[in-house]
Amino acid sequence: MKLTVFATTDVHGAVYPYDYFSGKEKNTSLLHIKSYIDRYREARPDEMVLTVDNGDILQGDVWNDYDFEAGHGHRLLPRIINDTYDVIGIGNHEFNFGLDYLHSVYGGLRPVIINSNVDFMDHPLKERVLPYTILEKETPEGMIKIGFLSVVPTQILKWDAFHLEGRLNVSDMRTTVEKTAAEMKAAGADLTILLSHSGLSKNPDHLKKYGENQTLLMTMIRDVDGIVFGHTHEFFPDRDFDVSIGTIDFKRGTINNKPMVQPGVYGSHAGKLSFEVERTAEGWQIRHRSACLIDTQETQLDPRLTDKYEPFHKKVLEYLSTPIGEIDSTWHTYFSRLFPSKAVQVVAEAGKAYTKRLIETGELENLPVLGFNAAVKAGRDGPHDFTVLEAGPVTLAEAIDLYKHANALIIIKIDGTTLREWLEWSASQFIIPDGDGFLLRSNRSRDGFPGYNYDTFFDLDYAFDITHPPKYDSTAKQINDSRRVFEVKYMGRGVEDDDEFIVPANNYRVSYTPFLRDAEILHESKASVRDIVIDYMRSGPQFELRDPMRILPRGIYRMDTATKAKDYIMKGQPIKHVKETENGFSHYEINLE
């Protein structure tokens, strides 16, 4: 008998084949994946087909924003989830809106919802979310029992501490999987599939207890027969990955004989786990196992599905088309990892405006306010993963694109010492100058320095000497005792260690970053950063673009960004397009002499 498990992960609300920020149709989406699965089922009526999602489906796109505003009974995403999946796991971003919202959404879902390593304590989600499920399916050879379990990184307690602190506990992923998979086998599961919302890493920090990306460890657990993983928005099978423990077979899509898939992000791919099983006197035996990815760009969209969901699409368009302001120049993030960008700075300005109102009303002490931000969309997920707002009217959709996460605003107080460490972390994204001239580390989660961890402080003037080794890795873990920050000024005066500043930040940055966890929290807003940005855009903001950073040594360097960026180089900017590389990216020459 053949068993096929189709899987998605990190869909982030990319349901309909339409880019709501560019206003163009897309050739990838969850509807593409469903079209493929429906045709597959029709063509193979004797094959057992199951569908699963591995988390991060409820956050990230405008359908999610619509659902958050619409309220129970009017949400759109639950409709397609109910039409598509048998089982769903929970990702870290499912927690962004809080437990009560999550419970409200899950109340409208029919698929089995599972998570094995989160204890929801006394919250109603404890009854709604199962630690695992075993699906019983009849076959000509008798009943087969297919088990599913799911885990999420323990770091959710840091990333969403604002929503979760004191309301749940999270256990280590690997030990949970080991224990739960054995329990499922003892309960009669013939096959056990793990939904691991955790990436594939060889980094020792990830492979130790409570590491963030532990999936490689899961391949060594005896009672796991197949793995769907995610979180880092990458792909597997992937010939660029070389295991440090065990064996890898790219043709079969296995590591340590476990078929496994990581199908990217935004519905770009579907994962397919394939099993051939046989009933013997000892029970069901797996005779063959493999895994592969299905590229949805090569999938024909079923027009019946687009017709079915088009009314929902129109509701979202109507919601997003509301004009909320106007800008007199184009804002984009193509070069934001090196040069100032109004699309990045506007978030800092919005946070400062909110904070200064609290100072004026006496809620906060009168200290200097420092605005900062990082580009959320800076190419990590491909050449289209950038923010672009053309000059003219700004709609709600474009304002959402400036800050797509539902993080809460948290205002903290820090001293000059902490500020320098924060800047050292940003300085760590740069490569020590070498022969090829490239300036920035990779924008990847697995082995690089993602742009969303590179903060720019727009109210300071500072300089980095990148001939010294980086002090931090991308997760803000110290890796050297070196110093790159050699000058920091505020209002023309050098910053002293005991100087105090107020910083409008967000719950992700404060809880995630080691040197900020002990910062004094002055205010926790009930409004999200995104809502504060939207309100700021409605006010018709006027601010000057600031370039606070200098890089030493001066010279001519290179960086990679989208090929499309060449159309946005302004006259006089020290940027020159060199050549296209692959997958929509290009090399650019940067003159910092």
| pLDDT in the model for residue 553 | 95
Element (H, E) at 34: helix 30-43
| pLDDT in the model for residue 250 | 87
pLDDT digits (tens, 9 = 90+) for 104-136: 999 999 999 999 999 999 999 999 999 999 999
| pLDDT in the model for residue 446 | 66
Assign domain 2-317 to its CATH superfamily: Metallo-dependent phosphatases (3.60.21.10)
Between 162 and 267, where is the model more confident?
A: 267
90, 168 contact by CB (below 8 A): no
| pLDDT in the model for residue 22 | 75
Q: Let me know how long the chain is.
A: 593
Name the phi and psi angles at 349, rounded to 5: -65, -40
CA 498 – CA 571 distance, rounded (Å):
42
Indicate if the pLDDT at residue 447 is higher than 90: no
CA 185 – CA 420 distance, rounded (Å):
52
**Could you state, in order of their start, the residue ranges of all structural domains in the chain?**
2-317, 323-591
Could you say which DSSP state residue 438 is in? B
Between 45 and 518, where is the model more confident?
A: 45
pLDDT digits (tens, 9 = 90+) for 155-169: 999 888 878 989 999
120, 141 contact by CB (below 8 A): no
Indicate if the pLDDT at residue 537 is higher than 70: yes
CA 412 – CA 351 distance, rounded (Å):
12
Q: What percent of the chain has pLDDT over 90?
A: 80
Indicate if the pLDDT at residue 550 is higher than 80: yes
Q: What are the residues facing 119 on neighbouring strands?
A: 169
pLDDT digits (tens, 9 = 90+) for 347-367: 999 999 999 999 999 999 999
Among 195, 272, 254, smallest CA distance to 36 is for 272
Q: Which residues contact 357 (CB under 8 A, 6 or more apart)?
A: none
Which segments within 416-481 are labelled E, that is strand?
456-457, 460-465
| pLDDT in the model for residue 237 | 92
How many Cβ atoms from other residues are within 10 Å of residue 281's Cβ?
Answer: 5
| pLDDT in the model for residue 404 | 79
Over residues 554-577, the mean pLDDT reads 95
Indicate if the pLDDT at residue 526 is higher than 80: no
514, 323 contact by CB (below 8 A): no
CA 436 – CA 227 distance, rounded (Å):
39
* Terminal CA-CA length for the chain: 67
497, 585 contact by CB (below 8 A): no
274, 290 contact by CB (below 8 A): yes
560, 587 contact by CB (below 8 A): yes
Q: Quick one: tokens of 216?
A: 């490689």
Q: What is the CATH number of domain 323-591?
A: 3.90.780.10
Between 248 and 37, where is the model more confident?
A: 37
pLDDT digits (tens, 9 = 90+) for 5-23: 999 999 999 999 998 877 8
Among 211, 224, 213, 142, smallest CA distance to 180 is for 224
Q: What percent of the chain has pLDDT over 70?
A: 99
389, 398 contact by CB (below 8 A): yes
pLDDT digits (tens, 9 = 90+) for 466-486: 999 999 999 899 999 999 999
Q: Which of 244-253, 272-281, 386-395 has the lowest mean pLDDT?
A: 244-253
Over residues 45-74, the mean pLDDT reads 91
pLDDT digits (tens, 9 = 90+) for 302-352: 999 999 999 999 999 998 888 999 999 999 999 999 999 999 999 999 999
